[in-house]
Amino acid sequence: MPEYLVRLAQVHESFRKAELFALGELAGVTLEIVEYHENSPFCIVRLPSDAAAAKVISRSILSLGIHELWGRGPSYEALHESVKINTSHLWAKYKDVSFKFTVDCFQGTRTTAEQRDIIESFSYLAFEGPIRMKDPEVSFQVFEHYDEKAPHPKYFYLGRFIAESGRHAKSTYDLKKRHYISTTSMDAELALLTANIALAAPGKIFFDPFMGTGGFPLAAAHFGAYVCGSDIDGRSIRGTGGSSRKGQVGKRDVAGNFKQYGLEGHYLGAFVSDLTNTPLRLPAPSNNGIRHGYLDGIICDPPYGVREGLKVLGAREELGDIERSNHQARHKDPTYIPPKRPYSFMALLDDILAFAAITLVEGGRLSMWMPTANDEDVELIIPTNPFLELVSVCVQPFNRWSRRLLTYRRLPDSEAPADAVTRVRKEYEKGVRADELNAFRRKFFEGFKEADKLRAGDYAPEETPKKIG
Amino acid sequence: MKLLTLNFLTCAIKTCKSSPSSFPLHPRDAELEIVEADLNLKFLENILPRLMWDELRVVVDELGLPTLPPTIPTRADLVAPSSPTSSSSSSDPAPSQTARDLHRILIETCVREGKLVCGNCGHEYAVKEGVANFLLPAHLV
Ligand SMILES: C[S@@+](CC[C@H](N)C(=O)[O-])C[C@H]1O[C@@H](n2cnc3c(N)ncnc32)[C@H](O)[C@@H]1O
Ligand SMILES: [Zn+2]
């Protein structure tokens, strides 16, 4: 298989491989990573063809583009030598076509004169076609990799351009331009990335049980999925609560966001509900071994703090007979507000996994965000479920806390333990009550207070390290 | 809310879920709306095996929409027999009338206002501005 150079964005590093593998799977091609470094925007992969390369990268959020790799090396001499060895049989093919040659310096700069010299040094390729800066038939790019603040580059590549990425969607869906958002709306880039990692694609159904202002369903719909969502807070869906956005007037709601992007045809709708008392069908495992999962993907950012108010339905205390009949008598009254009680975050995570195990189709994915304190003696907790296999863990670090995107794949029943079906169902139905009061959990949760405070600044520039090359 | 979504919704009350009559929810005083959308054959093919067909027919009847065939269409039924006149230009198969009808019902027909009623316990869930409310009062949690 030929080698290609993926020009990555130097941002959200720990998500980049997970995205590449997901996109390979979506495109139905074998993708092998030959060389990858967390601190480099240059990644070398093996892919079966140019068409496969284009298919994989065209919807990538964390890359800029993909190039056929013509050569590489730690100096221009080495680069030229590698180009000559690898590609001399290809030169004739591009001899007469219009072309363009550019230089991309990562963490460095070149004057126009220097760039011209660099390009001239490739004159042995003997391309005789017209140079065309706009829409050339073939486009070559020299890449220089500098260490931060270094005067000279440390590594060089030459690539033939194959395809641009889908990164422009990041600005299309930018929260600053979205009609309806709230303080907990997920950053557009991360929402799109989540949809990619969860394999959102045309023809699929995606669901977000904590949809808020609909950031994840929108992202999944952008990639062609049909989407629906729910939230315990009806105001966030209907938008009647207004928005915390300054200067925002008039009615803005989730449906309006879908209209803004021309995606209303993909919006199956939303409903108000508590995940632990979901109205969604929870299909029983059938005797003949055919499962009835119906969701291709579940993507969400569960509530975990004071801001989002992690609550579930139900009274705080067990109801006595009198209270019970009081609720019964009043519940049809339009002013009746169903009471809610606090709930444990760990229990909710287990509930989400159990829900996913029941509703996902085989191979369907759950991608959910989860915060953690950056405290050395807090061991990472990764919730598990016998039907779900962990696919990837991606980390977005902040100063005192991080949040992680956990992605799971629904296993075929045949690969899960024999009693798993009944166990998972039972657990979901009774609602797993995790014990929050032990010391370990308490410590774990202390970090959240910090996280919760910081959360408001999720998309403030100083919180997200910005060093996109 | 598109009618397809209704095919995934049952009563939210846990003790109801195991009873077959908690699904489908029965629309009452429903106000429908048509939201035009592009037909996506691949999507229809994908969801076909996930549909609860008999229950979909019940809901469609209760809403006074044209009755659906008694047996669920096959994937092949969704594709129009290729006519020799519509030449080779497009490689995508054309949707059949069956596919168009299904698309009309599942994707373009939306419930705007009304109630969804559980056939087992009789609990009513209100739909307002297309959004159904499944929050349960304290005595039913
Ligand atoms: C972090 S926010 C999600 C924001 C969303 N991703 C967006 O882009 O707008 C979490 C949401 O979960 C909702 N929520 C809290 N408890 C819930 C529960 N038990 N069931 C369903 N939703 C719940 C909150 O109302 C809140 O909108
Ligand atoms: Zn019921």
Q: What is the pLDDT of residues A186-220, one digit of tens each?
A: 999 999 999 999 999 999 999 999 999 999 999 99
Q: What is the pLDDT of residue A435?
A: 41
Mean pLDDT of all residues belonging to chain A: 87
Residue A265 lies in a domain: yes
Q: Which of A308, A312, A346, A367 to mutate to test the pocket of ligand 1 (most atoms within 8 A of CB)?
A: A308
Model confidence at A425: pLDDT above 70: no
Residue A344 lies in a domain: yes
Residue A438 lies in a domain: yes
Q: Kindly determine whether residue A279 and residue B9, on different chains, have CB atoms separated by under 8 Å.
A: yes
pLDDT bin (cut points 50, 70, 90) of residue A310 is: confident
Chain B closest-CA separation from residue A327 CA (Å): 6
The string of pLDDT tens digits covering residues B44-83 is 999 999 999 999 999 999 999 999 999 999 999 999 987 6
Model confidence at A35: pLDDT above 70: yes
Is the same domain home to A158 and A292?
A: no
Q: Which structural domain range is residue A333 located in?
A: 170-442
Q: Is residue B138 within 8 angstroms of chain A, CB to CB?
A: yes
Model confidence at A13: pLDDT above 70: yes
Chain B closest-CA separation from residue A11 CA (Å): 34
Atom 11 of ligand 1: nearest residue by CA position: A210
> Which pair of structure tokens corresponds to residue A393?
């863990």
Across A102-106, A339-343, B59-63, least confident range:
A339-343
pLDDT bin (cut points 50, 70, 90) of residue A373 is: confident
Rounded to whole angstroms, the Cα distance separating A102 from A76 reads 15
The string of pLDDT tens digits covering residues A281-292 is 998 765 455 557
pLDDT bin (cut points 50, 70, 90) of residue A402 is: confident
Q: How many domains does chain A have?
A: 2
Q: What is the pLDDT of residue A454?
A: 46
Chain B closest-CA separation from residue A204 CA (Å): 6
Residue A468 lies in a domain: no
Chain A closest-CA separation from residue B86 CA (Å): 25
- The DSSP annotation for A419-447 comes to THHHHHHHHHHH-------SHHHHHHHHH
- Number of CB pairs, chain A paired with chain B, less than 8 A apart: 131
Distance, CA A457 to ligand 2 centroid (Å)? 42
Enter the DSSP assignment of B106: I
Distance, CA A133 to ligand 1 centroid (Å)? 48
The string of pLDDT tens digits covering residues A137-168 is 999 999 999 999 999 999 999 999 999 999 99
* Closest alpha carbon within chain B to A204: B43
Model confidence at A55: pLDDT above 90: yes
Residue A331 lies in a domain: yes
The string of pLDDT tens digits covering residues A220-248 is 999 999 999 999 999 999 986 544 455 55
Angle formed by the axes of helices A13-27 and A50-57, to 10°? Answer: 130
Residue A314: list chain B partners with CB under 8 A. 138, 141
Rounded to whole angstroms, the Cα distance separating A68 from A70 reads 6
Rounded to the nearest 10 degrees, how much is the dihedral formed by the CA atoms of A89, A92, A95, A96?
A: -150
Strands A226-231 and A205-208: parallel
Q: What is the pLDDT of residue A374?
A: 72
Other Cβ atoms closer than 10 A to A14:
16
Q: What is the pLDDT of residue A200?
A: 98
CA torsion through residues B27, B31, B35, B39, sign? positive
Is the same domain home to A149 and A225?
A: no
For residue A334, cis peptide bond before it (omega within 30 degrees of 0): no
Is the same domain home to A85 and A230?
A: no
Give me Rg for the CA atoms of chain B: 17
Other Cβ atoms closer than 10 A to A353:
25
Residue B132: list chain A partners with CB under 8 A. 271-272, 279
Across A5-19, A250-264, A336-350, A412-426, least confident range:
A412-426
Across A183-197, A252-266, A427-441, least confident range:
A427-441
Q: What is the pLDDT of residue A8?
A: 98
Model confidence at A115: pLDDT above 60: yes
Average pLDDT over residues A113-134: 96
Is the same domain home to A28 and A140?
A: yes
Atom 24 of ligand 1: nearest residue by CA position: A308
Residue B40: list chain A partners with CB under 8 A. 202-203, 226
Residue A269 lies in a domain: yes
Rounded to whole angstroms, the Cα distance separating A94 from A230 reads 54
Residue A85 lies in a domain: yes
For residues B21 and B119, the answer to whether their CB atoms sit within 8 Å is: yes
Ligand sitting nearest the alpha carbon of B14: 2
Model confidence at A450: pLDDT above 90: no
Is the same domain home to A45 and A34?
A: yes
Q: From A431, A381, A425, A428, select the one nearest A402 (Cα to Cα).
A: A381
Is the same domain home to A193 and A115?
A: no
Q: From A338, A346, A352, A420, select the one nearest A387 (Cα to Cα).
A: A420
Smallest Cβ distance to B12: which of A264, A277, A324?
A: A277
CATH of residue A418's domain is 3.40.50.150
Residue A465 lies in a domain: no
In a mutagenesis test of the A interface, which of B2, B7, B8, B41 is the best target, namely the one with the most A β-carbons within 10 Å?
B8
Pocket residues: Cβ below 6 A from ligand 1: A 182, 184-186, 209-210, 212-213, 215-216, 231-233, 236, 274-276, 301, 303, 308-312
Is the same domain home to A265 and A374?
A: yes
Q: Which of A173, A231, A275 to mutate to test the pocket of ligand 1 (most atoms within 8 A of CB)?
A: A231
pLDDT bin (cut points 50, 70, 90) of residue A436 is: very low
User: What percentage of residues in chain A have a pLDDT greater than 90?
Assistant: 72
Distance, CA B139 to ligand 2 centroid (Å)? 13
Residue B36: list chain A partners with CB under 8 A. 265
pLDDT bin (cut points 50, 70, 90) of residue A465 is: very low
Is the same domain home to A226 and A289?
A: yes
pLDDT bin (cut points 50, 70, 90) of residue A439 is: very low
Q: What is the pLDDT of residue B87?
A: 53
Q: Is residue A429 within 8 angstroms of chain B, CB to CB?
A: yes
Across A1-5, A379-383, B16-20, B128-132, least confident range:
A379-383
Chain B closest-CA separation from residue A240 CA (Å): 11
Is the same domain home to A106 and A46?
A: yes
Across A60-69, A309-318, A331-340, least confident range:
A309-318
Model confidence at A80: pLDDT above 80: yes
Average pLDDT over residues A324-336: 93
Bridge partner list, A34: none
Average pLDDT over residues A344-359: 91
Distance, CA A357 to ligand 1 centroid (Å)? 20
Mean pLDDT of all residues belonging to chain B: 93
Query: What is B3-80+94-140's CATH number, 3.40.1710.10, 3.40.50.300, 2.60.40.10, 2.20.25.10?
Result: 2.20.25.10
Average pLDDT over residues A238-262: 75
CA torsion through residues A340, A346, A347, A352, sign? positive
User: What percentage of residues in chain A have a pLDDT greater than 70?
Assistant: 82
